[in-house]
Amino acid sequence: MIDHVSIAVSDLARSARFYEPILAALGLEKIVDRDETIGFGKSYPEFWLNSRPDMAKPTADCGIHICLRASRPDLVDAFWKAAVDHGGLDDGRPGVRPEYNTHYYAAFIKDPDGNRIEVVNFLPDPD
């Protein structure tokens, strides 16, 4: 249903340095690099960073939340670790979220601008 997402960032170069290694953990690479926007994806840009140098920092309750799908739980872990190692804030360590679903394995981070990014994998039945 959703083809791509775009987020506003106050410093495009800083955000590109942040997002490049963490999106690489999910198999996304930089595909488009323009003065005001950068697009990451697998075969076409699916995740865009848009330069907004004068933007106000999102508040904790602004509602910005993007969830990306990981094909395996270890990629959720890799995304979270890369984000924290590159200056992102831990907003929920990797783990099962039984309040959502017993198969819901996710992690949450906040990027340098305060955007909340989640990565999820749906664990298989243990049978």
The answer to whether residue 36 is domain-embedded is: yes
The answer to whether residue 127 sits within a structural domain is: no
Q: Is 19 among the domain residues?
A: yes
Q: Does residue 44 sit within a domain?
A: yes
Domain that holds residue 78: 5-122
Whether the full predicted model's pTM is greater than 0.85, yes or no, is yes
Residue 55 has what pLDDT? 85
104: Cβ contacts below 8 Å, ≥ 6 apart: 96, 97, 98, 120, 122, 123
Hey, which residues does 66 pair with through a beta bridge?
Answer: 117
Quick one: CA torsion of 66, 99, 78, 10, rounded to 10 degrees? 30
More confident residue, 1 or 73: 73
pLDDT (0 to 100) of residue 123: 94
Number of domains present in the structure of the chain? 1
Average of per-residue pLDDT across 31-35: 97
Q: What is the CATH number of the domain that holds 9?
A: 3.10.180.10
What whole-number distance in Å separates Cα of residue 37 and Cα of residue 72? 29
User: Does the pLDDT of residue 127 top 70, yes or no?
Assistant: no
**Max Cα separation, the chain?**
52
Is residue 81 one of the residues assigned to a domain?
yes
The whole-number average pLDDT for the span 35-62 is 90
The DSSP code sequence of 41-100 is ESSSEEEEEEE-TTPPPPPTTS--EEEEE-SSHHHHHHHHHHHHHTTPEEEEEEEE-TTT
